[in-house]
């Protein structure tokens, strides 16, 4: 079954038109080279126009559509598009049998010919009516009674009718290729639901094949040729012997059917009408028999002992003894209950106390037997089938009944079990939608044919329940295998002109249904495999050279064999009921979701639907699943859930515009509108990260470990936006932007970073970072924390992410009231695959930042990389502080925060500034001043070169008569250069530079900078002493100076503060509390 279109252009132009087209293309080839390509942006290729058509845009030159000639390079004219759409073909992609002749010449596609009656109505009728009607419906009526049977059938038919309404809406919402329910569900609910439900539908179809084969064998061994049984019945083991026979015959038949399907599936399709004729003739025979009972009931006597039904397989005369020549002789029945044929023999007590009577099994529609069959007669396994109002005398104690010719029940019966057995008889409603590719007008035929077929079959089932209850005696109805009527099929006893009409008809119909299941199920699996959404079944997408699904057929036969080994039709029926009910449930869900979302593309031609009907159908399907068998329902849901999660985790990404995506968008919009556009409560605060990445010239991430650290910190929770900036104009950088986004998303997938990617193109790198900080996120889902890597090469002025950009980013995060995390030596941070078996995460709490320093280690230790690390908190005590009391207070604070950590207070007393500190500050300021001088000299040289360039440009372009005026003007602005003037200017600059550098070496450091450097050096020494071997050090990040002239000194202070540490995370809070002691 196809999953997408292959659009075929109609080749009807002939060789002459092709030559004209080639000539016209040659003539316009030069024009094509000269003509621009519009805005230079690549258009998205249309799925309806082949690549050959895209090169024909020049055919519109000189026509009245010249205004749109740029668009015609890539977009088709409407007339051309409509022509291609009108002549589409929905052949299965990749099927070789349809593509064998494409290399020479594609054959003209023939229009579909089937109408509603042949294409939808009859296939649905054939699939719905089947084995349950002939083999089990009479037994269900006798066991549940007419009223409860009516309820069972009505519920099941209502379920399929509601599903058909939903299916009709989906099937008429655009062209549905031949993919049936799988295509509809997957394109409406997405690949995860589509794959899960598609595989469940496949399993249901496969087990349906097993059920039909078991029905075929049951008819063969029970009603056609009982002597063909391989295993003979032993005492008390009749049921087990029958099951063994079914296993052997079933295995043989499934091998035979698989060979037939493998060799020639076309013969199966040709025999479909024959099988359908068998079904229709059988049903007509039932109705004819009912009419005949009104005036001439058939003669099928039943033998009763007391009120117990006797099996007539072992005797022929329904009497204890007979009179012959004035001599009383015992009958074979006597010898079955007594130890000898003598009249004084010892007999079974119940046999002795009760009389043998004979009644008509089919009294007729006018007999009034309907009132006796209205109510249920559920029984335990192994109990005797009894007539309710028949007089009987019970013995003093019940004698052993094993081995006696009673009709026994083979299973325990109750209402919910009968629902599970009956439901497969109403499946098959998808037969019309499966053939949508072969219909003349699928959008008209599918709703009409399917709903008419369900109406017809519902009438047949409901009328049969009433007619069976009105014509047939209750004990015969409860006799599942017809033992009381000489082993005849019970429904066959009612048929006219002969029971063999039903027997032969049901045999061929069940055999044909089994063949069709083995034909359809492999193709369904092949369609799912070719979609590529379930990786482990992709091998089943391959087949023979003509496209036949060989591997899928083998798997189908193997799964079908599991149902054969179960051997009991009553045990297999609830299994496939589960899978079909799940499929129908999701068809209803798909319709309800699409209707409620009101997506613009939801425009079904079938108008008689409503979301309440779909929701009712979905609820009814779910209820029927648990009514049939709650444990089977749970197992089916577990299988579907596992497949869903597997596709979600490992499957290929597919975007089909499905309803679940739309539902997610609506839910996201609703949630975003509900989220307060403001800071969340402290209890709900978590770092929502904006990760700033640096890309190289190939648009690859320079520091992948930053994303590893992000995933370790977030563990998939909260918001993560990964951003980066490309320098340039977006029109010029759009291709690089897309490439960068793909690279970043690929790395996010590798590092398991769940979040969003946002790449910005900006003429200025600094402005791009500012744009991200200001505008990333949406509504209440905005970042509150910025994570970035420390610029290792900040001292190199040519580095684009220089210290100036870094310091400005720090200032902007502070202005935006966002927290900032700066990871230094990020390339030394662990990957997600590494595990620290020991070590510490050290927190140096210098100033209070709202609790960020406390919260981050807790979040990191949730990840398995950091799980075994211990948390240590250090704080610094000044000379006036009581360090012992500080430690107690900090321990109490951590206790209230429910954080486990070791606490240590480090005393850092004031002392004289060391010579090392003074010298380091002096070197820092000298370097800064030298850079300014060098920058100034560089700017002057650039200005001189620009002036010379301007002079030469002006002299070349000026007219001769204006040369003296231009020269005078240039002299006024010192632009008339002579050799002497140039040498003098050069010596002047040299002298000024020399004096500037001389001042640098004579300068004294600023006292404020000396104090800051002293703090950095002292604190660095303390941190190194305590935390040099820690796995991670978290440290308060001091803020940048208010005076922007000291920005380069600020970078030097941070460098000194963290010198000698392997992994450092500098933390700057947002100015608000992020952790609380309250619940």
Q: Which tens digits make up the pLDDT trace of 240-249?
A: 888 889 999 9
Ranges of H-type helices in 776-904? 803-815, 852-860, 883-896
3-class DSSP state for residue 877?
strand
Query: In whole angstroms, what is the distance from residue 475 CA to residue 625 CA?
Result: 30
The pLDDT-based confidence of 650 (bands split at 50, 70, 90) is confident
pLDDT band with cut points at 50, 70 and 90 for residue 192: confident
Query: What number is the average pLDDT over the span 180-194?
Result: 75
The partner residues of 871 in beta bridges, in order of sequence, read: 841
**What DSSP line would sit under 757-772, residue for residue?**
EEEEEESSHHHHHHHH
How do 301-305 and 308-309 pair as beta strands? antiparallel
**Peptide bond before 497: cis, by omega within 30 degrees of 0?**
yes
How far, in Å, CA of 254 to CA of 563, rounded?
11
Any idea which of 587-591, 743-747, 882-886, 930-934 has the lowest mean pLDDT? 930-934
pLDDT digits (tens, 9 = 90+) for 1-49: 433 333 334 344 444 444 454 444 444 444 444 444 444 444 444 444 4
Can you give the pLDDT at residue 745? 92
| DSSP code string of 246-257 | HHHHHHHHHHHH
Distance CA 583, CA 204 (A): 9
- Alpha-carbon span 849 to 843, nearest angstrom: 12
1071 compared with 949, residue with greater pLDDT: 1071
Alpha-carbon gap, residue 306 to 356, rounded angstroms: 6
Which distant-in-sequence residues (6+ apart) come within 8 Å of 463 by Cβ? none
What's the pTM value of the predicted model, to 2 decimals? Answer: 0.68
CA distance 376 to 144: 4
Distance (Å, whole) CA 518 – CA 550:
11
Q: Which two tokens stand for residue 886?
A: 């500080």
- Measured distance CA(784)–CA(441) in Å, rounded: 56
Q: Tokens standing for 947?
A: 């002036």
Work out the average pLDDT over 252-271: 83
Which residues make Cβ contacts (< 8 Å) with residue 1079, sequence separation at least 6? none
Q: How far apart are CA 392 and CA 305, in angstroms?
A: 8
Tens of pLDDT along 738-777? 999 999 999 998 888 888 999 999 998 889 999 999 888 8
Which residues does 454 contact at the CB level (< 8 Å), separation at least 6?
Answer: 124, 128, 157, 160, 161, 164, 426, 429
Cβ(1067)–Cβ(1035) under 8 Å?
A: yes
Contact at 8 Å (CB) between 844 and 1023? yes
Write the secondary structure of 389-434 as one string of H (helix), E (strand) and C (coil): CCCCCCCCCCCCCCCCCECECCCCCCHHHHHHHHHHHHCCCCHHHH
For the chain, what is the radius of gyration of the CA atoms?
44
Dmax over CA atoms of the chain, in Å, equals 165
Q: What is the pLDDT of residues 841-864, one digit of tens each?
A: 999 888 877 678 888 898 898 889
The DSSP secondary structure of 942-1006, one letter per residue, reads HHHHHHHHHHHHHHHHS-GGGHHHHHHHHHHTT----HHHHHHHHHHHHHHHHHHHHHHHH----
Distances (CA, A) of 216 to 243, 246, 265, 513: 13, 10, 20, 10
Predicted confidence band of residue 1015 (pLDDT cuts 50, 70, 90) = confident
- Terminal alpha carbon distance of the chain: 57
Q: Which position has the higher pLDDT, 100 or 1062?
A: 1062
**Per-residue H/E/C for 930-956:** HHHHHHHHHHHHHHHHHHHHHHHHHHH
> Mean of the pLDDT values across residues 1061-1072?
85
Query: In degrees, to the nearest 5, what angle opens at C-alpha 394 toward C-alphas 392 and 398?
Result: 140
Give pLDDT, residue 1006: 65
**CA 468, CA 362: separation in Å to the nearest integer?**
9
Task: Write down the pLDDT at residue 1078.
Answer: 66
Residue 212, both tokens: 């039909």
């Amino acid at each position: 079954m196809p999953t997408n279109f292959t659009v075929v252009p109609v080749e009807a132009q002939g060789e002459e038109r092709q030559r004209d087209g080639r000539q016209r293309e040659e003539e316009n080839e030069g024009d094509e080279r000269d003509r621009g390509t519009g805005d230079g942006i690549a258009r998205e290729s249309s799925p309806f126009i082949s690549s050959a058509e895209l090169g024909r845009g020049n055919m519109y030159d000189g026509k009245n559509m010249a205004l749109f000639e740029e668009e015609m390079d890539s977009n088709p004219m409407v007339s051309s598009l409509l022509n291609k759409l009108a002549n589409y073909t929905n052949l299965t992609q990749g099927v070789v049998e349809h593509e064998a002749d494409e290399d020479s010449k594609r054959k003209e596609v023939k229009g579909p010919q089937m109408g509603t009656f042949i294409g939808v109505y009859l296939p649905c009728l054939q699939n719905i009516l089947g084995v349950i009607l002939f083999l089990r419906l009479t037994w269900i009526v006798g066991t549940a009674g007419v009223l409860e049977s009516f309820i069972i059938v009505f519920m099941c038919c209502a379920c399929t009718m509601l599903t058909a309404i939903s299916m009709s809406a989906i099937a008429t919402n655009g062209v549905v290729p031949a993919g049936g329910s799988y295509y509809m569900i997957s394109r409406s609910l997405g690949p995860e639901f589509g794959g899960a439900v598609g595989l469940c539908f496949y399993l249901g179809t496969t087990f349906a094949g097993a059920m039909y084969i078991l029905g075929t064998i049951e008819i063969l061994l029970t009603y056609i040729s009982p002597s063909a049984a391989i295993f003979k019945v032993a005492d008390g083991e009749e049921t087990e012997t029958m099951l063994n026979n079914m296993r052997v015959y079933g295995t043989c038949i499934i091998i035979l059917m698989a060979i037939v399907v493998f060799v020639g599936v076309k013969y199966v399709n040709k025999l479909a009408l024959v099988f359908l004729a068998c079904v229709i003739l059988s049903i007509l025979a039932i109705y004819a028999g009912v009419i005949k009972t009104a005036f001439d009931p058939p003669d099928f006597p039943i033998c009763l002992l007391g009120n117990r039904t006797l099996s007539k397989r072992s005797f022929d005369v329904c009497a204890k003894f007979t009179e012959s020549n004035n001599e009383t002789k015992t009958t074979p029945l006597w010898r079955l209950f007594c130890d000898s044929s003598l009249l004084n023999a010892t007999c079974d007590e119940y046999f002795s106390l009760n009389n043998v009577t004979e009644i008509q099994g089919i009294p007729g529609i006018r007999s009034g037997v309907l009132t006796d069959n209205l109510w249920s007669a559920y029984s335990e396994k192994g109990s005797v089938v009894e007539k309710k109002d028949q007089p009987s005398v019970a013995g003093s104690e019940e004698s052993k009944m094993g081995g006696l010719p009673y009709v026994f029940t083979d299973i325990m019966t109750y209402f919910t079990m009968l629902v599970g057995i009956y439901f497969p008889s109403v499946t098959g409603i998808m037969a019309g939608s499966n053939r949508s590719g072969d219909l003349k007008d699928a959008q008209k035929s599918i709703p009409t044919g399917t709903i008419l077929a369900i109406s017809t079959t519902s009438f047949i089932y409901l009328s049969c329940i009433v007619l069976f209850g009105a014509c047939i005696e209750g004990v015969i109805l409860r006799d599942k295998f017809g033992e009381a009527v000489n082993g005849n099929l019970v429904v066959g006893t009612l048929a006219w002109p002969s029971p063999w009409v039903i027997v032969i008809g049901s045999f061929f119909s069940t055999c044909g249904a089994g063949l069709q299941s083995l034909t359809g199920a492999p193709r369904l699996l092949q369609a799912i495999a070719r979609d590529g959404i379930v990786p482990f079944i992709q091998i089943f997408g391959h087949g023979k050279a003509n496209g036949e699904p060989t591997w899928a057929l083998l798997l189908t036969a193997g799964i079908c064999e599991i149902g054969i080994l179960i051997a009991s039709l009553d045990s297999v029926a609830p299994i496939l009921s589960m899978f079909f009910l799940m499929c129908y449930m999701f068809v209803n869900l798909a319709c309800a979701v699409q209707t409620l979302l009101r997506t613009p593309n939801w425009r079904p031609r079938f108008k008689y639907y409503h979301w309440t009907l779909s929701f009712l159908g979905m609820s009814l399907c779910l209820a029927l699943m648990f009514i049939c068998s709650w444990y089977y329902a749970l197992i089916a849901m577990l299988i579907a859930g596992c497949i869903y999660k597997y596709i979600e985790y490992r499957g290929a990404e597919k975007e089909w515009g499905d309803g679940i995506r739309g539902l997610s968008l609506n839910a996201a919009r609703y949630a975003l509108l509900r989220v307060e556009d403001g800071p969340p409560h402290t209890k709900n605060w978590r770092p929502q990260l904006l990760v700033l990445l640096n890309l190289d010239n190939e648009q690859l991430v320079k520091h992948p470990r930053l994303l590893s650290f992000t995933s370790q910190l977030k563990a998939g929770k909260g918001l993560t936006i990964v951003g980066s900036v490309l320098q340039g104009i977006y029109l010029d950088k759009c291709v690089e932007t897309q490439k960068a986004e793909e690279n970043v998303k690929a790395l996010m997938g590798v590092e398991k970073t769940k979040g969003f990617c946002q790449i910005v193109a900006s003429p200025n790198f600094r402005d791009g970072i500012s744009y991200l900080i200001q505008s990333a996120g949406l509504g209440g889902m905005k970042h509150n924390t910025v994570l970035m890597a420390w610029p290792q090469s900040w001292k190199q002025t040519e580095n684009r992410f220089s210290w100036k950009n870094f310091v400005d980013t720090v200032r902007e995060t502070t202005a935006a009231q966002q927290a900032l995390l700066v990871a230094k030596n990020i390339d030394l941070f662990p990957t997600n695959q590494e595990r620290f078996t020991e070590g510490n995460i050290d927190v140096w709490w210098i100033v209070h930042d709202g609790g960020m320093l406390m919260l981050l280690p807790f979040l990191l230790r949730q990840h398995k990389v950091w799980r075994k690390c211990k948390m240590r908190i250090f704080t610094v005590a000044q000379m006036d502080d009581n360090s012992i009391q500080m430690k107690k207070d900090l321990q109490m604070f951590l206790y209230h925060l429910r954080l486990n950590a070791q606490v240590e207070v480090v005393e850092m007393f004031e002392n004289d500034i060391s010579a090392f500190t003074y010298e380091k500050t002096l070197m820092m300021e000298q370097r800064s001043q030298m850079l300014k001088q060098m920058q100034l000299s560089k700017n002057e040289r650039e200005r001189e070169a620009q002036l010379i360039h301007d002079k030469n440009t002006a002299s070349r372009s000026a007219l001769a008569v204006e040369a003296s005026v231009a020269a005078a003007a240039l002299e006024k602005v010192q632009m008339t250069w002579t050799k002497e003037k140039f040498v003098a200017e050069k010596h002047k600059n040299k002298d000024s530079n020399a004096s500037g550098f001389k001042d640098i070496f004579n300068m004294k450091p600023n006292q404020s900078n000396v104090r800051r450097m002293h703090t950095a050096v002292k604190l660095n020494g303390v941190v190194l002493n305590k935390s040099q071997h820690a796995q991670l050090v978290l440290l308060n990040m001091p803020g940048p100076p208010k005076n922007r002239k000291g920005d380069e000194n600020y970078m030097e202070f941070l460098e000194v503060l963290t010198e000698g540490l392997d992994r450092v995370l500098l933390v700057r809070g947002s100015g608000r509390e992020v952790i609380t002691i309250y619940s």
